[in-house]
């Protein structure tokens, strides 16, 4: 049943979007007179890495004169959980166009919460506080990111990044044999959506939109007042007969240049439109 290959890289994109929020945080140090004597951008990386790659890249020479450079930030994905509160209809679909203007039929995405943990390792409490104060005010408690989750259909979604908790570890007590470790941990939830396979739409161009309007919300008793109809009209000579006329309209495909023919009809009757019989009854 399963097995249609597709890979929208949505989780990867969510990781990138989350990471880019924190890739331009700076800290400064001053001398005793208050003059800035150092300004540095806090390095950020995604925590989980291949071990051999980390060793080769970060310690190419076997001898390393120092333990580590600080401060540093890292983050990692900690959970992926279905979010039933954002559930939408299983069979609900929507239409979208791909890059070539071809209509696509897309099932509603599945809401998933992705948990992230951002860790800040610093040598000084003051460094951590500088970093924290540049992050926390933006989350009340969420910050919206607009991410192009499925680039083939240009599906941009607002993904709230919610700051769930802030905690910190400051091991300043105890034996002098152990060094003080200052780690601030921020837990976030990204409310993203996972899309299934995207199929070519068999429906193609919408040929007609018809709306009946009533003067009352109770459509059983109220009379229909007006009918609004919109149909596409060709603006190109699709059948190559030298003229642009009604014969070209049925040949329109998504991506063609076309206009719209709007029609208002006053009804004032007690009938209603049957989609199955495609007539008023």
Partner 1 sequence: MTLNPFFLQGTQSEQRLVQDLINEHLRFHGVEVTYIPRKFVNKKTIIEEVQSSAYDDNFSIEAYVNTFDGYGGAGDILTKFGVSVRDELILTLSKERFEDFIAPFMAGQDDGTDTSPLPTPTRPREGDLVYFPLGQRLFEVKFVEHEDPFYQLGKNYVYQLKCELFEYEDEIIDTTIPEIDTQVQDEGYITTLNLIGVGRTATAAAIIQGSVTSGYISEIFINNDGYGYTSTPTIGISSSPTGLIGDRATAVGVLTTRGGVTSLDKILITNAGAGYTVAPTITITGGGGVGAAATASIVTSGQGVIRFSVTDGGVGYGTAPVVTVTAPPSSSISKQAVGVASMRSGSVAFIHVLDPGRGYSSAPTVTIADPETLVGVGTYFFNEIIYGSRSRTEARVKEWDEDTGILKVANVSIGSTQLGFFPGEMIIGKDSGAQYPNQGYEDFDEYDKYSENDEFEAEADKILDFSESNPFGTF
Q: Which residues bind partner 1 (CB under 8 A)?
A: 13, 16-17, 19-25, 28-33, 35-41, 43-49, 51, 54-55, 57-60, 63-72, 74, 76, 119, 121, 123-127, 134, 138, 145-149, 151, 156, 176-177, 179
Taking the least distance from each CB to partner 1, the nearer of 11 and 244 is: 11
Give bridge partners of residue 112 from the DSSP assignment.
82, 192
In whole angstroms, the minimum distance from the beta carbon of 246 to partner 1 comes to 37
Q: Are 181 and 128 in contact (CB under 8 A)?
A: no
Six-digit token pair at 132? 């924290």
Give the residue with the Cβ less far from partner 1, 158 or 278.
158
- Tokens representing 255 are 């991506």
Burial class of residue 99 (count of CB atoms within 10 Å of its CB; 0-12, 13-18, 19+):
exposed
Residue number, 70 or 108, with CB nearest to partner 1: 70
Nearest distance from C-beta of residue 34 to partner 1, angstroms: 9
CB of 4 to partner 1, least distance (A): 23
The tokens describing 275, both together, are 């989609």
Here the tokens at position 41 are: 């951008």
Instruction: Give the nearer residue to partner 1 in terms of CB position, either 11 or 205.
Output: 11
Q: What is the DSSP string of 189-214?
A: EEEEEE----EEPSS-S---EEEEEE
Q: Which is nearer to partner 1, 179 or 271 (CB)?
A: 179
Q: Closest approach of Cβ 173 to partner 1, in Å?
A: 14
CB of 89 to partner 1, least distance (A): 26
- The least distance separating partner 1 from the CB of residue 188, rounded to whole angstroms, comes to 14
**Closer residue to partner 1, CB minimum distance, 126 or 241:** 126
Between 155 and 248, CB nearer to partner 1: 155
What Cα–Cα distance (Å) separates residue 121 from each residue in 135, 170, 184? 15, 10, 7
Q: How far is the CB of 84 from partner 1 (least distance, A)?
A: 27
Which residues fall within 8 angstroms of residue 175, CB to CB, at 6 or more apart?
A: none
Burial class (CB in 10 A: 0-12, 13-18, 19+), 144: exposed
Both tokens of 79, joined, read 């959970």
Residues 6+ apart with CB under 8 A from 148: 13, 154, 155, 156
Strands 199-200 and 103-107: antiparallel
């Amino acid at each position: 049943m399963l097995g249609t290959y597709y890979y929208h890289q949505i989780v990867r994109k969510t990781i990138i979007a989350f990471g880019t929020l924190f890739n331009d945080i700076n800290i400064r140090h001053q001398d005793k007179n208050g003059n800035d004597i150092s300004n540095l951008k806090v390095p950020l990386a995604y925590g989980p890495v291949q071990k051999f790659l980390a060793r080769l890249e970060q310690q190419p020479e076997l001898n390393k004169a120092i333990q580590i450079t600080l401060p540093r930030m890292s983050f990692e994905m900690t959970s992926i959980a279905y979010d039933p509160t954002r559930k939408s209809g299983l069979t609900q679909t929507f239409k979208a166009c791909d890059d070539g203007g071809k209509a696509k039929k897309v099932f509603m995405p599945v809401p998933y919460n992705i948990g992230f943990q951002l860790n800040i390792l610093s040598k000084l409490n003051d460094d951590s506080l500088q970093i924290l104060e540049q992050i926390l005010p933006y989350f009340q408690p969420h910050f919206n990111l607009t991410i192009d989750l499925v680039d083939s259909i240009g599906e941009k979604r607002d993904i709230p990044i919610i700051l769930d908790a802030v905690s910190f570890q400051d091991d300043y007590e105890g034996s002098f044999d152990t060094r003080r470790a200052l780690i601030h941990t921020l837990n976030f939830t990204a409310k993203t959506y996972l899309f299934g396979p995207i199929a070519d739409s068999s429906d193609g161009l919408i040929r007609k939109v018809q709306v009946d309007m009533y003067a009352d919300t109770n459509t059983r008793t109220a009379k229909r007042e007006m009918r609004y109809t919109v149909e596409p009209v060709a603006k190109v000579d699709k059948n190559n007969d030298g003229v642009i006329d009604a014969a070209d309209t049925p040949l329109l495909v998504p991506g063609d240049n076309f206009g719209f023919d709007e029609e208002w009809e006053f009804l004032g009757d007690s009938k209603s439109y049957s989609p199955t019989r495609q007539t008023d009854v």
